[in-house]
Chains A and B, each alone.
Chain A
Amino acid sequence: MNRRITRFFVHTTMAFAVPLTVATLSLAYSAQAAAQSTAEKIARGKYIVSTSACHDCHTPWAMGPNGPAPDMTRALSGHPQDMRLPPPPKAEGPWIASFAATNTAWSGPWGVSFTANLTPDPETGLGKWTQRNFIETIRSGRHMGRGREVLPPMPITVYNNFTDADLEAIFAYLQSIPAIRNRVPEPLPPAASVAQK
């Protein structure tokens, strides 16, 4: 092989190899950056969920050696589907609301609300929700942005102040946690509205 041919092969090989290598490295870098970005987003979401009282209501509380505490084996799975509750106590005077020992069922002028399953279970949790569904829920105060109103004690007016980036992070984290199958009961309306018809 003479020198001209060798030079041709070297140049040709370099002409393809360099861009290919750059492209491969670039793709690998993008994938790594995306993975890092997702990991960072999930970590941010976990931080917000842990500091914004989500577990207070969406994780059932149980009595432990140090008193009542969130049962993290059922983290963020909402009001336990098998828990049967008697009618709530009658509200009197300024005492307008009461809550169950699990902190997942609340009674007040709005009726009785049960905290939602936020885990990614497809049938009973947020498994089929999109990020848009989640953000629109918080922004509008309606389920999936267009269903019934989200009820107290969910502090929608507080969480409304999260940025879209924060809400995206929260949703990413909630989609990353273990799915728990738990069909939370529908809320009960105020007695007055049921008695109307």
Chain B
Amino acid sequence: MKPSHAIAAAALVAAAMLPGRALAGGAAPLPQRLAETGLYEPGSTTVRAGTIAYSPQYPLWTDGASKRRWIQLPPGTSIDASRPDAWEFPAGTKLWKEFAFDRAIETRLIERLDDGSWRFATYVWNEAGTDAELAPLRGAVVAVAAASGGRYKVPGRFDCLACHEGGATPVLGFSALQLSSDRDPLAPHADSVSPGFADLQTLVARGVLRNLPQRLLDDPPRIAAKSPAARAALGYLHGNCGHCHNDAGALASLDLALAQQAASPGASAERTLKSLLGHSSRFRAHDGKATQRVVSGSDESSVLAVRMKTTNPLARMPPLGVGVADDQGIALVERWIRTATPTEEKTP
């Protein structure tokens, strides 16, 4: 049996065994094929007209996979941005994110149901790239030559929840800060934005986004930092860590705030520094060298950097979705710790 066939069979079995999944939010069961989710024009892999493509300025590192992202809203609906850092999406909103290594491997789907709940799924592409099938609830491993070790890990549903239900909103890359037109030129792995891609101005102009405070249109969101390198480092932590480590979600009790706020950039940047600098770390490596989250001037003594670069899979951060350390992101954060003397960071 070919791996793709095995995955498809497993997906079918998993879907049949998991009635809770099919009944989430009282909605119809998840389609078995990506083509049935509404992303494409019927009978093709051409993205349907009216679908909005976007690219966050601080993308999540996922072992070097290239990604494409889209959102669809039901006709006549819009996103309420009155809370600039926790947008309210209408029922029926769908977001897709495609991961590729040479070829498309999987496309993830987030959907808001009529009762306000969200459901998460992912679809694994066949090798011919003609369609993708619903992945098993517990995820899967796909043989992909270009991926690390030739193995690509498709996340399970709890993996989805781990990141997407850890903050103020389950939608992570489609936000005021991520879609600011004042994009960070030093952000690692960011796409160059193609014409037609969404930013705050175009979303408001299209009537897709309403109630965004005017000041965020006049002065697009930007992370508060004293240098371009510090801005990029804080942005990297926002995009890669802030969805779990924030003050709004399940891990708030850890008192580690790495998410930046578009509505209050100065306060959130200072909050981040306060939660890092000189703050004792609960995690202690066996060598015992690093005991604080960040020690200004010493990346080797900073647990933040140690856990980003370790090859120990039981200690590495982020703990899922990453199998290959992000050298570019690590270098950015280490440089910031070493030379940007974060203690002196203040709102510009």
Contacts and interface: CB of A to CB of B under 8 A. Distances in A.
A148 B313 CA distance: 8
Interface string B287-302: 0000000000000000
Interface in A128-173: 128-130, 132-133, 136, 139-149, 151
A144 B251 contact: yes
Given A129-B253, A130-B250, A145-B250, A186 B163 contact: no
A72 interface: no
A140 B311 contact: no
Contacts of A40: none
Interface residues of A, number: 30
B250 A187 contact: no
Contact of B314 (A111, A139, A146, A197): A111
B253 A145 contact: no
Contacts of B319: 142-143, 146-149
Contacts of B286: 185-186, 188
A126 B162 CA distance: 19
A64 to B, nearest CB: 31
A6 interface: no
Contacts of A196: 311
A2 interface: no
B311 A197 contact: yes
A22 interface: no
Interface string B257-289: 000000000000000000000000011111000
B253 A133 contact: yes
A196 B253 CA distance: 34
Given A133-B250, A141-B158, A142-B162, A148 B315 contact: yes
B166 A189 contact: no
Interface string B240-253: 00001000001101
B192 interface: no
A194 interface: yes
A149 B251 CA distance: 16
Interface of B: 158, 161-163, 166, 244, 250-251, 253-254, 282-286, 311-315, 319-320
Given A128-B253, A197-B311, 11 more contacts: A128-B254, A130-B250, A133-B253, A147-B319, A185-B284, A186-B314, A189-B313, A189-B315, A193-B311, A193-B312, A193-B313
Interface of A: 111, 123, 128-130, 132-133, 136, 139-149, 151, 183, 185-189, 193-194, 196-197
